[in-house]
Amino acid sequence: MRFATKGARPRRIVRLLWAIAIASVMMPAVAPADSDNYVEIARGKALATIGDCVACHTAPGGTPFAGGLALQTPFGAIMTPNITADNTTGIGSWSADDFARALHDGRRPGGTYLYPAFPYPYYSRVTRADTDAIYAYLHSLPAVVNRVNRNTLPFPFNIRLSMIGWNALFFTPGGFAPDSGRSGEFNRGAYLVEGLGHCGACHTPLNAFGANKADQYLQGNQIDHWTAPNITNDRQAGLGKWSVDDTVQYLKTGQTRTSIASGPMKDVVENSTSKMPDADLRAIAVYLKERGAEGPRPPAALLSSDARVRMGEAIFVDTCAACHKRSGEGVVHLFPRLAGNVIATQDDPASLIRIILTGGRGAATDATPTAPAMPSLGYRLGDEQVAAVVTYVRNSWGNAASPVSAEMVKALRERVSAARE
Amino acid sequence: MARRLPRKDVVIIGLGWTGSILALELSRTGLDVVAIERGPWRDTATDFNIGTAADELRYAVRHDIFLRPKQETLTMRNNSSQTALPIRKWGSFLPGNGVGGAGVHWNGQTWRFLPDDFRIRSHMIERYGAGILPESNHIQDWPISYEELEPYYDKFEYVAGISGKAGNIKGEIQTGGNPFEGARARDYPTPPMTQGHAQDLFGRAATGLGLHPFPRPSANISVAYTNPYGCSMAPCTYCGFCERFGCANYSKASPQTCVLPALIREPTFEARTECEVTKVNLSNDGKMATGVTYVDADGQLWEQPADLVLVCAYSLFNVRLLLLSGIGKPYDHAKDEGVVGRNYAYQTGSGSTAYFEDAKFNPFAAAGSLGVALDDFNSDNFDHGAQGFVGGASITSAHTNGRPILYHPTPPGTPSWGGAWKIAVRDTYQRVTNVSAQGSVMSYRNNYLDLDPTYKDPLGRPLLRMTFDYQDNERRMANWMAERCDEIAKAMGAKATQVNRLTGPWSVVPYQSTHNTGGAIMGRDPKTSVLNRYLQSWDVANVFVMGASAFPQNAGYNPTGTVGALTFWACEAILKYLKSPGSLVQP
């Protein structure tokens, strides 16, 4: 529009008056955060970092916390809301009680049901003191006007009341109950992993209703066509070979000697775990180490004479060995060691297939800023070749895992391409 | 009309080695730093993909990562009686473009100059008398000693992860290193590269002749390394795609591998790429810089005010920018007065090509700075009295590449195409190697840079004019070195050799060396130098100029090690300047 007509002006004034009227009616209901309470706000910022709120509540290229990211779920895309303190498009008009209710019960101030793409089944464990601190922090940020369409799911999933049934089946509200038989460090780790950290939201398999399978907690899942691996203490399928220090180093720097965070975990490390206090990272590592080990038994390694392994070895020598080395040992800080790498031997080979097809970039942190890249090889390796080299990597240097078929590669290639378009 | 931007503490012109190091060191102190770079952003992960990086046609033949001559070129002539003409296709040297600058496409030899190089004028007169100095020379002592620069050489080598073998640690000569080098505080950060067959033959032959071969210091590194900035490098794979290429393996030291990953995390740092600085703006009295004017990719002019201006472009373009901005008195060849453009120097190349009867040199298993060298004939490590010339050369056996398009040596007399050529390429590829001498070039009244009176760039600004030829001193030196190379080549067991001498005028057509030095030199006297010993302009105290443009004359080595050391040296001075602005040296 190049200029406003005279007729438009009175209407705009009326609208403005309405807005002022509504705002003044709502004002008393709001308990504004005390903007001078730096201690509380700083604590809230640290907690929001642990929760990695910014990851979902920021559109690509958008203002942090102003929402608008399309979260892909099996039921359709959900646009994440604006959680800055804007009164109309954000949560500026919410009280601390409203905020706590959303986190603990999955309900908006009017009572509307939230979808569990917002992981309130985890946040239900967060203490009220902590939700208040996060509330104070979010209210200390500049209010950003950004209206997000919150009704993008198709029928019948757009009926938010359906969440009553979902909650009855899959949601156990209630605070965190520490295990008195365990150390304070373990319990701190449990509070972070089971609560604000919501690790299980990605690392636990989902049932047909999109709820975490409680009996397979932290046993791995596929997320955005990447493997979120098993992070139980299982020696074969999980982090059993990682020491507490390895896990701390991974969360802090984005890498261990065998692994470099890539895919969605790269963002988690960069935005969240690399900025957390070492004591919390250690608590998480201790909890993951001590809480138990569950995962599928690995099959026996394929014979090196297997035709798929031999084909894969030839491709590996030509295409992969310059960086990852003939021995699979890789190069420290840059090229992950494939020998003994638990990501390579996950039951679900999606990450390994995907990183060959599309490439990927490692996490950059203050400690390890280089962020090395795996080049995309999907343009010059066919499905059968990718399947062969993945099968070789999964069954060499002491690794043992199920073979991968060309059909699996083809299916993942199609899904990844579709997601990109 | 330029649009004025908010003030910054520091503006950096050019984001190569020197610009990125200064940007990181200064932004870490909390200063607001903006780097303005003419070319595009470049990053290992996105620009040097392992699947496409080794594209000889794109990079080596079509010069993908170099400056486009239509963006900016130079005019050249051999002497002031000629009319200079524009270089329309790069040949003798290849100026870089874009983030990383020439630090992206270099071979990676990372030398320290020798202690004598820094006081060459005094030293030569003391030892041989003033008669040894060539006619019309402008040879000057550096305003800094090797000992002063040593800690900063060390800093640069540890940032770049250089692979080598020390020859002199705190005065103690080390077996296997260069016994002629100046004393260093400690060894290189990583061990030497694995040498090839030709280098083994060279090492044995040279030792047999009483010479002192050693592995040359290499920025293609031998083992995994993490530098003090936290940036990680991987061992070189000897793929032989170094010079003219970006390294896809994180193996060649460059701003991309060694500095930028840390720099881009600095909250007070900003890079503006595809933006070309057109001039450094000065206050009315011309004594202070007020910032820079630049043009962005859309042709929009911007004024960026800043308290400190760091000129960090390629050496030739540093000189041009000073001339275009009116910083320092331009050199007037006719009167032999003025300083900006004075003391331009270059590098000599000569040597011997050695043909063997049955050898397999596998030149494709190579790296830009793989090689064995000796310094017995460099600087003043030998008696110049009998030779009557000044300067020297490092003599090397090296294979930097055996790439398919441009590397197919053939014996003299081979037709340049057809069946006989093909047979000669096939028969020669594995059986030929070189012994080469990379020599110093002194500075002279006749070799200089100024603004061209005729030719202009697309923005209407005069191009830089290069007036250069090898002088008699350099020819005699280079040709004497060629004989030394030939002696070694024969001692290696070559069945035939071909001596490559420096003949004819300097030509801009065949590639020779991108070691263009001088033009904005550092010195003790404002009448004969542009910069003081801290690389600070004598005339405009808040302008510092980095790079090989500061060399008073060129030594028999690649310049990057010294450029890096001078950057760290100047950085300390800049921090001092910021605490108490003003000229750091009173003339």
pLDDT tens track for A38-57: 899 999 999 999 999 999 99
Q: Nearest Cα to B43, choosing from B219, B248, B297?
A: B248
**Residue B224 at interface with chain A, using a CB cutoff of 8 Å:** yes
From the candidates B24, B27, B42, B50, which should be mutated to test the interface with A, based on the most A CB atoms within 10 A? B50
Chain A residues whose beta carbon lies within 8 Å of the beta carbon of residue B250: 334, 370, 372
A191 and A273 in one domain?
yes
Q: What's the pLDDT tens digit per position in B335-381?
A: 999 999 999 999 999 999 999 998 999 999 999 999 999 999 999 99
At residue A35 the predicted structure's pLDDT band, cuts being 50, 70 and 90, is: low
Chain A residues whose beta carbon lies within 8 Å of the beta carbon of residue B224: 331-334
Question: What average pLDDT score do residues B33-44 get?
Answer: 97
Q: What's the pLDDT tens digit per position in A100-111?
A: 999 999 999 988
Contacts of B104 (CB under 8 A, 6+ apart): B42, B65, B96, B98, B246, B254, B255, B256
Question: What average pLDDT score do residues B139-161 get?
Answer: 98
Q: Which CATH architecture has domain B3-579?
A: 3-Layer(bba) Sandwich (3.50)
From the candidates B27, B227, B250, which should be mutated to test the interface with A, based on the most A CB atoms within 10 A? B250
Ordered by start, the domain boundaries in chain B are 3-579
A46 assigned to some structural domain: yes
A55-69, A165-179, B70-84 — which is least confidently predicted?
Answer: A165-179
Q: Do B232 and A368 touch (CB under 8 A)?
A: yes
Q: Which residue has the higher pLDDT, A298 or A410?
A: A410
A322 assigned to some structural domain: yes
A258 assigned to some structural domain: yes
Question: What average pLDDT score do residues A244-255 get?
Answer: 97
- pLDDT at residue A164 tops 60: yes
pLDDT for position A421? 65
Q: Nearest Cα to B279, choosing from B298, B303, B299, B300?
A: B303
- pLDDT at residue A15 tops 50: no
Residue B500, beta-bridge partner list? B351
Query: Among partner residues B231, B237, B264, which is closest to A322 by beta-carbon distance?
Result: B237
* Percent with pLDDT over 90 in chain A: 72
Over chain B, what is the mean pLDDT? Answer: 97
Residue B392 and residue B377 in contact, taking contact as beta carbons nearer than 8 Å: yes
- pLDDT at residue A62 tops 90: yes
Q: What's the pLDDT tens digit per position in A139-157?
A: 999 999 999 988 788 877 7
A341 assigned to some structural domain: yes
A22-36, A127-141, B151-165, B545-559 — which is least confidently predicted?
Answer: A22-36
Question: What average pLDDT score do residues B544-572 get?
Answer: 98
**Residue B228 at interface with chain A, using a CB cutoff of 8 Å:** no
A372 and A344 in one domain?
yes
- pLDDT at residue B275 tops 50: yes
Question: What average pLDDT score do residues A81-107 get?
Answer: 95
- pLDDT at residue A332 tops 80: yes
A14 assigned to some structural domain: no
Number of helices and strands in chain B (H, E): 13, 22
Over chain A, what is the mean pLDDT? Answer: 88
- pLDDT at residue A204 tops 90: yes
At residue A12 the predicted structure's pLDDT band, cuts being 50, 70 and 90, is: very low
If you measure CA to CA, which chain B residue comes closest to A324? Answer: B234
CATH of the domain at A261: 1.10.760
If you measure CA to CA, which chain A residue comes closest to B231? Answer: A370
Q: Do A373 and B44 touch (CB under 8 A)?
A: yes
A360: closest CA of chain B, how far (Å): 9
If you measure CA to CA, which chain B residue comes closest to A361? Answer: B45
Query: Among partner residues A331, A368, A377, which is closest to B224 by beta-carbon distance?
Result: A331
Residue B371 and residue B365 in contact, taking contact as beta carbons nearer than 8 Å: no
**Residue B29 at interface with chain A, using a CB cutoff of 8 Å:** no
Other beta carbons within 10 Å of A396: 21
Q: What's the rounded Cα separation, in Å, for the pair A269 and A333?
A: 15
A111 and A192 in one domain?
no
Chain B residues whose beta carbon lies within 8 Å of the beta carbon of residue A269: none
A273 and A190 in one domain?
yes
pLDDT for position A73? 81
pLDDT for position B36? 98
Please give the residue range of the domain that contains residue A197: 184-290
Question: What average pLDDT score do residues B425-446 get?
Answer: 97
Query: What are the structure tokens assigned to B563, written together?
Result: 């450029």
Total number of domains constituting chain A: 3
Q: Nearest Cα to B231, choosing from A335, A251, A275, A372?
A: A372
User: Of A116, A145, A174, which residue is a domain's last?
Assistant: A145
Q: Do A366 and B46 touch (CB under 8 A)?
A: no
**Residue B232 at interface with chain A, using a CB cutoff of 8 Å:** yes
pLDDT for position B333? 97
pLDDT for position A3? 36
A322 and A281 in one domain?
no
A31 and A119 in one domain?
yes
Q: Do B261 and A371 touch (CB under 8 A)?
A: yes
- pTM, entire model: 0.93
- pLDDT at residue A29 tops 60: no
pLDDT for position A169? 82
Which residues of B are catalytic, by number? 515
Query: Among partner residues B45, B230, B248, which is closest to A367 by beta-carbon distance?
Result: B230
**Residue B257 at interface with chain A, using a CB cutoff of 8 Å:** yes
